[in-house]
Amino acid sequence: MSYLELRDISKVYGEGAAEVHALQRIDLSVDTGSLVAVMGASGSGKSTLLTIAGSLEDPTSGEVYLGGRPLSSLSRNGKARLRRQSIGYVFQDYNLLAGLSAVENVSLPLELDGVAARKAQAAALESLEDFGLKDRASSYPDQLSGGERQRVAIARAVVGNRQLLLADEPSGALDSTNAEAVMRLILAACRRGMAAVVVTHDAQLASWADRVVFLRDGRVVDQTVPVDSPETVLADLPNQ
Amino acid sequence: MSVRHALLALLSDGPKYGLQLRQEFEARTGEVWPLNVGQVYTTLQRLERDGLVESDDSAVTGPQKGFHITEEGAAELAEWLRTPPDFSSPPRDELVIKVLVAFELPDVDVHEVVQVHRRYLVELMQQWTRLKEDESRFDLNFALVVDAELFRLDSLIRWLDTADGRLKRAAAGVDAPAPQPFPLPKARRKVGAPQ
């Protein structure tokens, strides 16, 4: 069942001669429990797609549905509440608050949503433990490595009962080992029931997805077919 | 891949018989490259003929014929490990040729051709990555082999992305370099190769 659905989404910036068509008639649906990667070159519209899917920006035309509900039916406050309760964001540069410890960063969205501080801290600690960061809970972002910071950012994005994870180049600043760890965590969050969209230009990241959608000049030009059996590549190898 | 040198490497651990060599070869390559047992025995015969291994029935238990590596075999293995494969001249790559041909044909959209290959390569990478997802079977040897394949496919996609962008800029009249002779890098001497 699809949790996120983009129907006929277009986004235009500027007017007249300066008009830029960032997205043109995009249709995309992401099922609960599945990971979709959106690949494309710089300027192809990947990040715009993600901000519209996450209700951070409104489309010029078309409709975004989250859990079957059209975003255009929500007030500004309603969208803000939806973002806090249902959507987790992961960015390339982590976006952790420097003055808060790891556990405070993770518990903050819960507290902003009205969860009691003690309960929010307990949930945050549990989430950090799941990500192998229990002993780093009191550390501040500048005391963490890049890989640890991104794991804290993912813990923050999935804590609580979020249903949608949106990630923009989540491992762009990391080495390949940490990038793989980040994608394993995002995939694990999907397998536990979240829907996720990762936008990236990196094929190694995208290859963790159940489906890869290709954007070019603001349009979906292609997508991969779902992976049937991972054993296929081994079966195709010639006998030496 | 050199089965000959792979067998020498396995024998440098100690004497072994043919079937054992096959099993260890497959285990150490993450079972990605199956090996025919007939090929193992043919290769062992050639190695014995060249003085790189010797048959040694006393070295292994049971009725099988055992083999051990000779000093010459150990020297051959050491040299092979340090001799880079020949990357000095570009291979006649079918993917590169297809994109070059598509660019020249007036009725073909080269970007569409690039995308067909990009999608196929990403689909292959998805299959390899799925193998990584199952960590229970993901031992170190298998991980190294899968990573190598993923990086190889990734490098092809990066080339396609770069070509796509370059062709797009060229079509728009931006960044279009004038045709020039294609200088190839001079072939470098292989480290460890005979002078």
The per-residue pLDDT for range A1-47, each reduced to its tens digit, is 899 999 999 999 999 889 999 999 999 999 999 999 999 998 899 99
The whole-number average pLDDT for the span A129-155 is: 92
Instruction: Using pLDDT thresholds of 50, 70 and 90, give the confidence band for residue A240.
Output: very low
pLDDT at B31: 67
Strands B53-55 and A69-70: unpaired
pLDDT at A211: 96
Burial tier of B66 (Cβ tally within 10 Å: 0-12, 13-18, 19+): buried
Which tokens go with A102?
A: 């790891």
Q: Which of A2-11, B100-109, B168-177 has the lowest mean pLDDT?
A: B168-177
Nearest CA in chain A to B164: A41
The residue to which tokens 């939806």 are assigned: A82
Pure H helices in B12-87 = 18-28, 37-49, 71-82
B119 touches A at CB < 8 Å? yes
Interface probe with A: pick from B109, B129, B169, most Cβ of A within 10 Å:
B129
A176, A182, A139: which is closest to A158 by C-alpha? A182
Condensed to tens digits (0 to 9), the pLDDT of residues A38-75 reads 999 988 999 999 999 999 999 999 999 999 999 999 99
Where in chain B does DSSP place strands (E)?
16-17, 53-55, 66-69
In this prediction the ipTM stands at 0.87
Condensed to tens digits (0 to 9), the pLDDT of residues B47-103 reads 999 999 998 767 666 667 889 999 999 999 999 999 888 877 777 789 999 999 999
Q: Which amino acid appears at position A215 of this protein?
A: L
A175 touches B at CB < 8 Å? no
Nearest CA in chain B to A228: B127
φ, ψ (nearest 5 deg) of residue A195: -95, 145
Judged against a pLDDT cut of 60, whether residue B14 lies above it is answered with yes
Query: Which residues of chain B neighbour A206 with C-beta distances below 8 Å?
Result: 122, 125
The residue to which tokens 């099922």 are assigned: A31
CB atoms within 10 A of CB A99: 9
- Distance separating alpha carbons of residues A220 and A177, to the nearest angstrom: 30
Q: Which of A135-149, A165-179, B101-115 has the lowest mean pLDDT?
A: A165-179
pLDDT at B195: 43
The residue to which tokens 């995308």 are assigned: B115
Instruction: Using pLDDT thresholds of 50, 70 and 90, give the confidence band for residue A175.
Output: confident
Instruction: Using pLDDT thresholds of 50, 70 and 90, give the confidence band for residue A131.
Output: confident
Nearest CA in chain B to A204: B154
pTM to 2 decimals? 0.82
- Distance separating alpha carbons of residues A131 and A121, to the nearest angstrom: 15
C-beta of residue B103 within 8 angstroms of C-beta of residue B110: yes
A167, A185, A209: which is closest to B129 by C-alpha? A209
The whole-number average pLDDT for the span B136-156 is: 87
A232 touches B at CB < 8 Å? yes
pLDDT at B171: 85
Contact B118 A214 (CB under 8 A): yes
Contact B32 A180 (CB under 8 A): no
Nearest-by-Cβ selection for A222 from B119, B125, B165: B119
Name the minimum distance, in Å, from the CA of A191 to any CA of chain B: 12
C-beta of residue A152 within 8 angstroms of C-beta of residue A129: no
The percent of residues above 70 in pLDDT, for chain A, comes to: 94
Query: Which residues of chain B neighbour A204 with C-beta distances below 8 Å?
Result: 125, 129, 150-151, 154
Give the right CATH number for A30-58+73-226 from 3.40.1360.10, 3.30.43.10, 3.30.930.10, 3.40.50.300: 3.40.50.300
Instruction: Considering only the C-alpha atoms of chain A, give the largest distance between any 2 of them, rounded to a whole number of Å.
Output: 64
Contact B35 A216 (CB under 8 A): no
pLDDT at B147: 92
- Distance separating alpha carbons of residues A188 and A174, to the nearest angstrom: 19
